[in-house]
Amino acid sequence: MEKIILEEKQGNPTFKVSLKNNSKKLYLESYGCQMNFSDSEIVASILDKNGYNTTRDLKESDLILINTCSIREKAEFTVRNRLKSFKKLKKQNPKLIVGILGCMAERMKESLLEEEKLVDLVVGPDAYRDLPTLLEEVEGGQKSVNVLLSREETYADISPVRLDSKGISGFISIMRGCDNMCSFCVVPFTRGRERSRSPLTIVAEAKDLYQKGYKEVILLGQNVDSYRWNINKKEEVIDQNIPSTNFSELLEKVALVAKDLRVRFSTSHPKDMTDDVVHVMKKHRNICNYIHLPVQSGSSKILQKMNRGYSKEWYLKRIKSIREIIPNCAISTDIITGFCDESDEDFQETLDLMKKVEFNFSYMFFYSERPKTLAERKFKDNVPLEIKKLRLQRVIDLQKEHSLKNNESSVGKIMEVLVEGPSKKSALEYCGRNDENYKVVFPKEDSKEGDYVNVLIERFTSATLIGKII
């Protein structure tokens, strides 16, 4: 039986950020998923208590940490090049420490230290509490590594230092790791077993953010529908004396923190997502009408090979059910083209599924074989790269059509938008997001960041809605 930690602290945990007069400077760069960005905030918090303030200026840094991603080969390639670019800085400042964190640290362990001599420090996603000790070792002239994965670490008691945030939207990590073992995916190997964080600390973090003026929280997990506190995988309560919480209950608890605190969550899994979650979304206006539900492929044969645990028909039924409960719910997805043995007919099934669903957004990739995964060990990566890329382009083109069609239907509608910051193109315009996670751009008028404004949509591009405040 899955063992989960059940201790909870008495009362509400406090979330304080120390404001010490730190003397050293940490430059922290993150790649990959939102989870990595959220982890970097935990790292910044741990190091803040150990003498480091963050800086955006590489040149003044005493410590450079790169939080890395291994999901596709290209992501690792980008990080390697970045690490090589630090060699010059190290020559100028021999005391400069360079370290890698996250998935690549876990995957490559000592090789980055020994073979390539690119870094002084390698720390996996469950070992961040050990950073101060590891840094001491490096300062003493050693190279340092901790890539141990944990079954229990959730960093539940650590109050993240909010990086790159204007105090409007904050990530809350609700669980770590993944037990799904999709055959293409490296995450179970780099982030370890699934474990959920105490609901008490999650709600306390949401309250803390709200009290600090935040307007939105994003609950993060590799598969949020597997969130379980005091419930085992057979859906049985483990200890009758402690309250149990599943994801829909957690979502409701967070939604109840404040009526004007927007709640988003990611990522949902088609095999685990229940209607309960959608009903809770419908019940609470502040939970955004947006679900990220990666399908990966439209072919049931390929889905089985991917070990996704559902068929095309199951996925379409999930979509139907979501739309019956919340007709205007925005749905986005992830799609991989050219997975092992994907034939033209299989690929047509993906296009067919896309046409049936008409996703609001998609994140699209061609298959990239990853070490240790079931696909790497057992299947042949037998779709030629050019075919993978051609198929990807077709998927991108089709998504663009659907996005434009969806965006067109928004013209003339009035949408509540949370103002996030200046638009990329003009200092006179703000950019924000509506309930369905669409980017909306509009002239500032007298609104300010963090406000909710009503915007009448007048125009659109494939990625943005454009309008004016009314």
**Which residues contact ligand SF4 (rule: CB under 6 A)?**
178, 180-182, 185, 187-188, 222-223, 269
Residue 360's binding partner out of ligand 5AD, ligand SF4, none, with CB under 5 to 8 Å set by partner kind: none
Residue closer to ligand 5AD by CB (options 33, 466) is 33
Taking phi over 0 as left and psi of -120 to 50 as alpha, with beta for the rest, 117 belongs to left
Q: Does residue 185 bind ligand 5AD (CB under 6 A)? A: yes
For residue 267, whether the previous peptide bond is cis, meaning omega lies within 30 degrees of 0, is yes
Residue 180's binding partner out of ligand 5AD, ligand SF4, none, with CB under 5 to 8 Å set by partner kind: ligand SF4
Q: Does residue 191 bind ligand 5AD (CB under 6 A)? A: no
Strand bridging mode 97-102 / 121-123: parallel
Q: Which residues pair with 414 in a beta bridge?
A: 456
* Binding footprint of ligand 5AD, residue count (CB under 6 A): 12
Q: Does residue 296 bind ligand 5AD (CB under 6 A)? A: yes
3-state class of 168 per DSSP?
Answer: coil
Q: What are phi and psi of 353, to 5 degrees?
A: -65, -45
Q: Mark 369-398 with x for binding to ligand 5AD (rule: CB under 6 A) and - for no binding.
A: -x----------------------------
Residue closer to ligand SF4 by CB (options 190, 286) is 190
Cβ neighbours for 111, distance < 8 A, ≥ 6 positions apart:
none
Q: Does residue 25 bind ligand 5AD (CB under 6 A)? A: no
Smallest CA-to-CA distance from 153 within 189, 208, 194 is with: 194
Distance CA 301, CA 308 (A): 11
Indicate which single residue of 365, 430, 442, 460 sits in contact with ligand 5AD (rule: CB under 6 A): 365
Q: Does residue 107 bind ligand 5AD (CB under 6 A)? A: no
Residue 269's binding partner out of ligand SF4, ligand 5AD, none, with CB under 5 to 8 Å set by partner kind: ligand SF4
Q: Mark 266-295 with x for binding to ligand 5AD (rule: CB under 6 A) and - for no binding.
A: ----------------------------x-
Residue 60 DSSP class: G
DSSP string, 308-367: -S--HHHHHHHHHHHHHHSTT-EEEEEEEES-TT--HHHHHHHHHHHHHH--SEEEEEE-
Q: Interacting stretch for ligand 5AD, rule CB under 6 A, among 16-24, 172-180, 246-254, 361-369?
A: 361-369
- Measured CA to CA in angstroms, residue 185 lies from 13, 141, 217 at distances of 35, 36, 27
Whether the Cβ atoms of residue 44 and residue 163 lie closer than 8 Å to each other: yes
Residue 178's binding partner out of ligand 5AD, ligand SF4, none, with CB under 5 to 8 Å set by partner kind: ligand SF4
Residue closer to ligand SF4 by CB (options 67, 223) is 223
Distance CA 30, CA 43 (A): 11
Q: Does residue 174 bind ligand 5AD (CB under 6 A)? A: no
Q: Does residue 184 bind ligand 5AD (CB under 6 A)? A: yes
Binding site for ligand 5AD (CB under 6 A): 71-72, 184-185, 294, 296, 334, 336, 365, 367-368, 370
